Structure formats: structure tokens, C-alpha cells
Structure 1
Amino acid sequence: MNSQIAAFLTIDGVATGAIYVLIALGIVLIFAVTRVIFVPFGDIAAFTALTLAGLETKQLPGTVGLVAVLAVLATLVEVVALLRAGKAPQIPKALLFYLVLPLIPAAAVWATAGTLLPLPLRIVLALALILPIAPLLDRLIFRPIADATVLLLLTVSVALHFALVGLGLLFFGPEGVRTEALTDYTLILGNIPISGQSMLIVAAAIVFSGLLFLFFEFTLAGKSLHATAVNRTGARLMGIRPERTGTIAYLLGSLLAGVSGVLISPVNTIFYDSGFLLGLKAFVGAIIGGLVSFPVTAIGSLFVGVLESFAAFQSSSFKEVIVFSILIPVLLWRSYTVAHSEEDIDE
């Protein structure tokens, strides 16, 4: 390996790591606020890419039906819960959030099926269609067991992942897809070509990381999420509803997953089950950050991307083994340096 190859591998690894940054930040955000390790996070990214590919081929994506069914079920669950709690006046608001808003992008995609729309509009429609999936899944599956142990929440999350993989096979079939490149620009730096797509991926990771920082530091909703992450009981006592902050966290997570799916689909072939490895490698970065630190998570995810790039060059058949093996020293180090305590259970 010479310096030129090393530079090329580093650039490729940073671009890959930037995708993992977006996914890992979403994983940490959702876990910090809701205590749910959202395993299907990568599946949402893959569904975004497959939805965008469906729009490019003038087909109706299966995610339209998925969003419609989830919206109806979540609305029924919410309306019944409001009636039991004697909060019938809040039903119109619930209908707007859980039924009307999710169905608007679904209806738009259904109405434009068979028409080749401009690329920016296809991206907006794909993101808008994917955005409600995680909040709707939260309302249907995770909110009723919100006070369960982390282990139970993880078990349910894994089961949900397998269900979505099966639906992905049903909706999109076993064939892999690649979407249209967002840009054909190539920068020649020395003797190293850097594609515009890679630069877009890195720029998106930087921009969204900065926006998350601004959101948490300077907005009331961001401070509410931070308060819930620090102490759920204390947040309740201050008038912050964990259910609402959880919904915001899932919305932001869906956005990050959707953007990562749009960015990675032109450079990688995406299959219905590609989200699992994407999410798992991003989870390694999240573990490096301890599932609490956003900056360390970002650094860890970039490290995973660079390590994967060099590992693929040295031995492509063992690259996953090498990447996942770094969990061992990280977990050992954390087990010896972090004080252990019984899990806090909110009443």
C-alpha cells in the first residue's frame, strides 16, 4: 500500500463514516430520550433509498401502503386512549397528527405514480413519505411499554426489525437498486479524485450535526429533549411530556435516516435488508460514544468508516469481523471505567 492508495481509502472511509454518523446520531438521540435502541433505524434508511428508486422507475412504492396502514392503526389507538382518559376534545388534534399529516405525502406519491418527477421533488416526496414511519411505530409499539426495561424494549425493537425486513421483501422484491447520482462533479486533489457525491455526504453529516447542536442549545423543544434524556421523572415534574419529546426524537431520527438513505443509494446497491448492516455499523459508532455523547459518537462513526475501508482493502471477506471486533475493547474499557448501578425505573 502506498500513500496514494492510503489517501484514497481514507477519503472513501470518511464518506462512508459520514453516513454512519447520521444514523448513529439518530440512534443515540432516540435512545437518550426514550431508552429504546431503535434497531430498525437502518431499515428506514434502506426504505428511503428503495422508495426513491421506485419513484425513479415510475412505480408506486410499497411504503405508501405501509404509511397508510400505520396511520390508521395509530389513530385508532390514540383515539381510544384519549376516550378512556376522558380527553375527547383532543381527538381532532390527534386525527391531524396521526392521520391527516402522514396521509398527505402518501396521497401525493400515489397521485404522481407513473410520472417521472424532477430529482429534487422525488427526494422531497421520499423523505416526506418516510418521515412519519418511526413516530407511528413509536405510538403503536413502544409507547404502550414505555416504562418497560431496556432489555424488553430492545427485544421488541429486534422483532420489529425482522417484521420490517419481511415487509421490505414484500414491497420491493429481492433485487438491489441504485438511484440517480445527485451530482456528477469530481474534484481532483493532487492525484486523488474526490467525487461530488462523497463531498455531499460529508457536508450533509457536518450540516445536520451542526443543526442538531443548534436545536439542542437554542430551542425550547431541544432543551425539552435534553431534559427528558437527563431525567425523565424530573422532566415530568417540570411539565415536559416524555411522550411528546419521544415523538420529536423519532421525527428527527426518521429525518436523519431518510437523508442517509438518499445519500448512500447512488454509491451503494441497496437491497430490502441492507438496513441491518448499515444500522449495526452505525451502532458500533454509537457504542463508542456510550450512547450518550453526540461528538464522540460522530468521531467513533468516522473511525468505523475508515477502518472498514482499510479492512476491505486488506481482506474484503473479513471486513465485518474487523469492524465489529472493535466492540470488544470498547465494551471492556467501559465496563472497567463506568460506575454500575441499578437501572432507574420511572414510576
Structure 2
Amino acid sequence: MDGQIALFLAQDGLINGAIYALMALALVLVFSVTRVIFVPQGELVAYGALTMAVLQAGGVPATLWLLLALAAATLALEGWRQLRGGLVDWWSTALWCVAAPALAALAVWWQPQDLLAQALVVVLVVTPLGPLIYRLAFRPLSHATVLVLLIVSVALHGVLMGLGLWFFGAEGARTPPFSEARFDWGGLRVSGQSLVVLAATGVLVLAMFAFFERTVLGKALRATAINRVGARLMGIPTELSGDVSFALAAFIGAVGGLLIAPITTIYYDTGFLVGLKGFVAAIIGGLASYPAALLGALLVGQLEAFASFWASAFKEVLVFTLIIPVLLWRSLRSHHVEEEE
């Protein structure tokens, strides 16, 4: 391996690491607020990419029908809770079950031809899936153990993957890049799409930092993540915190799908590996530290890139093996703490 090849591999690792960083960011966010290890995060990436491909083909994405079905089911569930004497926040329910699906349907009906406008439509369609999935699958189990939530998450992953096969078929899709530019920096060829991926990841990370540090809603999410019971006693609606965290995770998944689709062909099950590598990065951060998760994502990206050169047949094995020493090291350093009642 010479220096030129090493630069190419480092560039690929940096781009892949940026995508995994988004996945890790979403996983840490959801787990810290709701204690849910959101295994289907990768499916939202695939849904975002394949929805974009369908829009560019002039069709109506099946994700819109999924959104409308989930909205109707959530409305029925909230009505049932109301009849049983439960407290229902109808303002937030109207937002996620009526306003967001209606806006997504109007955006799809608009059928824009501009690439950025189509990307906006994808975000409007995929983002509401997050809080609707949370309300249907996880909020009724909010007092369950992490293991039970994980089992439900794995089952949901299988359902969404099967729906992805039904919606989009087994054929893959690739979308046009957001930038056709090409640069030659000292013999290293850099595509404009690669710079778009890095820039979008950087903007999202900084925006998330500003959101958690500067806004009341972000501080409420941080309080819920630190102490759920204490946040509830201080008047923070922890159930709505779950809505917001899942919405942000779905938004990040949609953006990740839009960024990765011009780089590689996306299939209905591609998101699983992407999400799993993001999970490895999140584990490096202990499912709690955003900076450590971001560094872990860059490490996973670099390891994957250089492993593909030295031992391409064992690339995935080497990446996922990274989780073993991390878990061993964390188990030796941490003390067992009883789960919050």
C-alpha cells in the first residue's frame, strides 16, 4: 500500500464514518430518552433512499400509504385510551396523526421535479413515521424492561424490512448526486457528493448540539435522559419527549438515506448493515456520549475502509468484532446499577 491508496481509503472511511455518525447520533438520542435500542433505525435510512428513487421515477411512494395507515391506527389507539379514562394530548396527536400526514400527502401530490424539493418531500414523508412508531409500539411499554423493549424493536425491524421488500421490491436503486462537481487535491480525487455528505453531517451535528444546549425543548430532552422520574416530577411531559426523540431519529434516518443513495445502490435490506455499524459506534460511546459515539463512527468507517483493502472477505467480521473489546473494557470499568423503577 502506497500513500495514494492510503489517502483514497481514508477518504472512503471518512465518508462512511459520517453516515455511521448520523446513525449513532440517532441511536444514542433515542436510547437516552426512551431506553429503546432502536434497531429499525437503518430501515428508515433505506425508506428515505428508496422513497427518493420512487419520487424521481414519477410514482407515489408506498411509504406515504404506510404513514397514513400508522396515523389512522394511532388515532384509533388514542381514542381507545380516552374511552378507558387515560389522558390524551390531542394537540400533539393532531400534529403527528393529522397535520404531518396531510402535509406529506400534499407534498407527494405536488410531484416536484427539483432535486432539493424532492428531498424535502422525502423528509416530510419519513420523519412522522418515527413518533407514530413510538406511540404504537413503544409508548404502551414505557415501563417495561430494556430487554422487552429490545425484543419489540427487533420484531419491528423484521416487520419494516418485510414491508420494504413489499413496497420497493428486491431491486436496488440509486439516486442522482446533489453535486456533480469533481475536485483534484494533490492527486486525490474528491467528488462533490462526498463533500455534501461531510457538510450535511457537520451541520446536523452542530444543529443537534445547539438544540440540546440552547433550546427549552432540547434541555427538556436532556433532563428526561438524565432522570426520567425527576423530569416528570418537574412537569416535563416525558411521553412527548419520546415523540420528539423518535421524530429526530426518523429525520436523521431520512437525511442519511438521501446522502447515501447517490454513493451506493440501496436495497430494501441495506439499512440493516448501516444501522448495525452505527450501533457499534453508539456502543463505543456507551449509548450515552454523543462525542464518543461520533469518534466511534469515524473509527468504524476507517476500520471498514482499510479492512476492505487488506482482507475484503472479512471486512464485516472485523468491524463487528470491534464491539467485543469495547464491551469487555466497559464491563470491567463499570459497576452494576439497578434499573430505574
Q: Report what 1:55 is aligned to.
A: 55
Question: 1 CA distance for matches of 2:211 and 2:112?
Answer: 35
* SS in structure 1 at match of 2:268: coil
The alignment of Structure 1 onto Structure 2 pairs a total of residues equal to: 341
Q: Aligned letter for 1:108? A: L
Q: Structure 1 192/332 Cα, relative in aligned 2: closer, same or farther at 3 Å?
A: same
Output the CA distance in 1 between the equivalents of 2:290 and 2:329.
Answer: 19
Selected match of 1:107 from 98, 105, 108: 105
2:136 aligned to which of 132, 135, 140: 140
Report the Cα distance in structure 2 between the residues aligned to 1:290 and 1:103, rounded to whole angstroms: 35
CA distance in 2, matches of 1:142, 1:175: 31
1:261 aligns with 2:257: yes
Q: Judge conservation of contact 2:108–2:121 (CA < 8 Å) in 1.
A: no
Separation in 2 of the partners of 1:22 and 1:29? 11
Distance 2:75 2:294 in 1: 36
Question: Are 1:125 and 2:148 matched, yes or no?
Answer: no
Q: Distance in 2 between matches of 1:145 and 1:58?
A: 39
User: 1:64: how far off?
Assistant: 1.0
Q: Give the Å deviation of 1:83.
A: 3.5
**2:99 maps to amino acid:** L
Over 3 Å counting, the alpha-carbon distance change for 1:62 and 1:192 in structure 2 is same
Give 1:167 shift.
0.3
CA contact (8 A) 2:101 2:128 kept: no
SS in structure 1 of the partner of residue 179 of structure 2? coil
Offset, 1:118: 1.0
- CA distance in structure 2 between the partners assigned to 1:190 and 1:154 by the alignment: 48
Matched residue, 1:189: 185
State how 1:279-294 maps to structure 2 within 5 Å: 279-294=275-290
**Which residue is equivalent to 1:75?**
75
Which of 211, 215, 221 is 2:217 aligned to?
221
Report the equivalent of 1:164. 160
Q: Distance in 1 between matches of 2:309 and 2:279?
A: 22
Structure 1 residue 99: Cα displacement? 2.3
CA distance in 2, matches of 1:222, 1:189: 39
Query: What is the Cα deviation at residue 108 of structure 1?
Result: 2.1
2:151 to 133, 151, 155: 155
Residue 297 of structure 2 corresponds to: 301
Equivalent position amino acid for 2:95 in 1: F
Please give the per-residue CA displacement for 1:160-181, whole angstroms capped at 9, x wherever unaligned.
0000000000000000000011
Aligned to 1:80, what secondary structure does the other structure show?
helix
Tell me the secondary structure at the aligned position of residue 235 of structure 2. Answer: coil
Cα drift, residue 195 of structure 1: 1.0
| Consecutive unaligned residues in structure 1, runs of 5 or more | none
CA–CA separation in structure 1 for the residues paired with 2:322 and 2:94:
45
Secondary structure in structure 2 of the residue aligned to 1:26: helix
> 2: CA distance between counterparts of 1:233 and 1:116?
46
Q: CA RMSD in A?
A: 1.3
> Which amino acid counterpart does residue 27 of structure 1 have in structure 2?
L
Measure, in 1, the Cα distance between the counterparts of 2:247 and 2:131.
6
Name the CA shift for 1:223/1:95 in 2 (closer, same or farther; >3 Å).
closer
What letter matches 2:154 in structure 1?
V
Name the structure 2 match of 1:231.
Answer: 227
User: Which of 312, 316, 325 lines up with 1:316 in the alignment?
Assistant: 312
Match in the other structure for 2:94 = 96
Residue 208 of structure 1 aligns to a residue in which SS? helix
Structure 1 residue 202, shift from structure 2 partner? 1.1
> Which region of structure 1 is more displaced relative to structure 2, 281-290 or 191-200?
191-200
Code of the residue aligned with 2:159 in structure 1: it is A
Aligned pairs for 1:230-249 within 5 A: 230-249=226-245
Residue identity opposite 1:150 in structure 2: V
What are the superposed Cα offsets for residues 159-210 of structure 1, whole Å, 9 maximum, x if unpaired? 0000000000000000000001110112211000111111111111111111
Calculate percent identity across the aligned residue pairs: 47
Residue 340 of structure 1 and its aligned partner are, at CA, apart by 1.3
Out of 334, 337, 341, the residue aligned to residue 333 of structure 2 is 337
Could you state the TM-score of these two structures normalised by the residue count of structure 2? 0.97
**Contact 1:68–1:102 (8 Å) recurs in 2:** no
Q: How far apart, in 2, do the equivalents of 1:68 and 1:246 lie? A: 20
Give the whole-Å Cα distance in 1 for the aligned partners of 2:187 and 2:196: 20
Q: Normalization by structure 1: what TM-score? A: 0.95
